[in-house]
Every structure is written in structure tokens, then in C-alpha cells.
Amino acid sequence: MEKEIERLREIGLYNKIKTIDTPQGAWLGIEGKKVLNMCSNNYLGLANHPEIINHAKNIMDEFGVGPGAVRSIAGTMTLHKELERLIAKFKNVEGALAVQSCFMANQAVIPSINPDAIFTDELNHASIIDGVRLTKSKRFIYEHNNMKSLQEKLEEGKNFENKIIITDGVFSMDGDIAKLDEISKLAEEYEALLMVDDAHGEGVLGDHGRGIVNHFGLSDKEVDIDIGSLSKAVGVVGGYIAGSNTLIDYMQQKGRPYLFSSALTVPDVAATIAAINLILRDDSLVKKLWENTEYFQKAVREIGFDIGRTQT
């Protein structure tokens, strides 16, 4: 370990963690300095929203703090079910399952489905990559957002019975958006399930920030599995799996992170409920986010910055 740490220092890849001593916001306090926050996932500014904080405080008086168990034994509270019904409404699907993080959502779904073949974008998130590694599936990695490459891989693997295509919705490092409308057509043509990780799409894309599926006018008829995060635009912590009632029932029986990790805590669940209700009630924050995005992109381009292929 010491040798590897030293190697990382030598090549400039050692990650020195900065400690923040203020609430999340546009400005942060770090080591006694006031700095502009250019790297947060707190897209809508909900991580320190007073309405959300107050709701979490009030619910703790009623339910306490911790769940005391895993969901499958004695850790499922009425709060968890309320949150899952709300997520299903938000994503316009039959059901949802809240888990500890979006990373864990991918770790739950991919190995438990364990299809014969997986078709995955080369720039998919690490949680998808690790989830794929936990399977015994044949892996086909297609060129980033390249539909010709995806079709070639699907053609190569067309004789596998159970197939799934997995893609990020908004790619976190580059900000470009998956061509989900085109991918869904290929999934139908080759009789493959379609799974999207919408961690950076919810609260950003679609009507009231409902995400990439809504953005493209699709539904759970085209996109079988919708994975999401509660720690980015929603501003709290956690992840979820959304889709058909059959999918949710299956994950409650087979999803190991759901079965063997403690449930989300009371304040996290309460805060998330308040945050999603706020987004559904008023989309002004989503609209403001896009106004800020367009303003910022235009300004930095004008002074010579190359911002790559970002669409967000």
C-alpha cells in the first residue's frame, strides 16, 4: 500500500481530500478560506434548503434516527414505503425501491439479473463497471454513445437469449446525454432489456426534472430499469431502482445490497421526501439551473475555454 501511495504521489494522481466546514452551497469554507464551489452535484441547491431541513427535524421527533435493521427483516418503516411511492410517481413507473446509494443500486440490479450478455457503454460509471464484473455474463463494450458500434455488438451477440443494454443517462465526466431514443429502438429490435443510470439526469432533464426517460418522451415500456441517485439534484443521500412491480418484487428477493445493508436512516428518508415534493410542486429551480448552465457555457466559451461535448 505504501508503494502504491508513493507511486500515485509521483505521477500526480494522489487525491488529497479537502474538508469543508460550511453547509453545501455556491460558496464553501475550506481550511479557513471562502471558495467558489465548481464541483458539487448539488444541482438544485437542495442540500441546505430550510424546508427540507425542517421536515427532517420534525420527522425525527416521530420516528427517531436509525432504522435498526435491514429492510428485509425489521428495517422497513412507513416512511420508506412513502418515499418509494413518491419516487414511482416522480419517475412515472409502477414501483420503486430505495437503497443506500446509486452505486449500491447498480450493484443490486446487475449481478442479480445476471443476463447471458451485457452491452455496456465504454464510459459508463464505475458502479456499472463493478456491477458487470460481479456477473458471469458475456461482456460487449461499445464505443461511447456510438449507435453503429452498439448495433455491431448486438449483432455479434444476438444469439444470447437474455441480453441487457446498460448506459448512463447523463455521462458524469463529459456532460453529454445518452441517445436513449435510439438505444431503445435497438433494444426492441434485438429483444434486450434496457437499463439507464439516471443519477445526473433527475432534477436536470425532463418535465420537473423527471430525468432522461421523460426527456425523450419514453416510458417504462421502452426503458425496463431506471436507476437513480438521491444525493445529487435531490440533495440528500441514497439511490433507487425504478420500474415494473415485477422488477421491484424481484429485487426485494435477490438484490444483495437491499437484503444485507441497513435501511436508509429516518432523516435521510424524510429529507428526500420533502425534496422530491418540492421539485414536483415547483420546477423553477430546474428552469433556473438551465438558465445558469446556458449563461455559464456561453461565457466560458467566449473567453476561450474548450468545454468539450457537454450538453448539460
C-alpha–C-alpha distance, residues 33 and 20, integer Å:
10
Active site residue 232: yes
Per this entry, what is the length of the chain? 312
Has 149 been annotated as catalytic? no
User: Dihedral sign, CA of 253, 258, 261, 264?
Assistant: negative
CA-based angle 15:169:147, to the nearest 5?
A: 110
Tell me the torsion sign for CA atoms 56, 59, 61, 65. negative
Point out the catalytic residue in the list 200, 208, 215, 231: 200
d(CA 293, CA 255): 37
As a whole number of angstroms, the distance between CA 193 and CA 223 comes to 8
In the set 40, 172, 244, 262, the catalytic residue is 172
Give the SS3 label for residue 64.
coil
Cα–Cα nearest to 136, from 153, 113, 104, 114 = 114
Provide the grid cell at 160: 444470447
Cα dihedral sign, 151-154-159-163: negative
Helix axes 126-133, 102-113, angle to 10 degrees: 30
Whose cell is 411511492? That residue is: 85
Helix axes 180-189, 147-156, angle to 10 degrees: 20
The set of cell numbers assigned to 305 is 475555454
Active site residue 172: yes
* Cα–Cα dist 236/36, whole Å: 21
Q: 112, 229, 232, 261: which one is catalytic?
A: 232
Identity of the amino acid at 166: I
Report the first-to-last Cα separation within the chain, whole angstroms: 38
Active site residues: 172, 200, 232
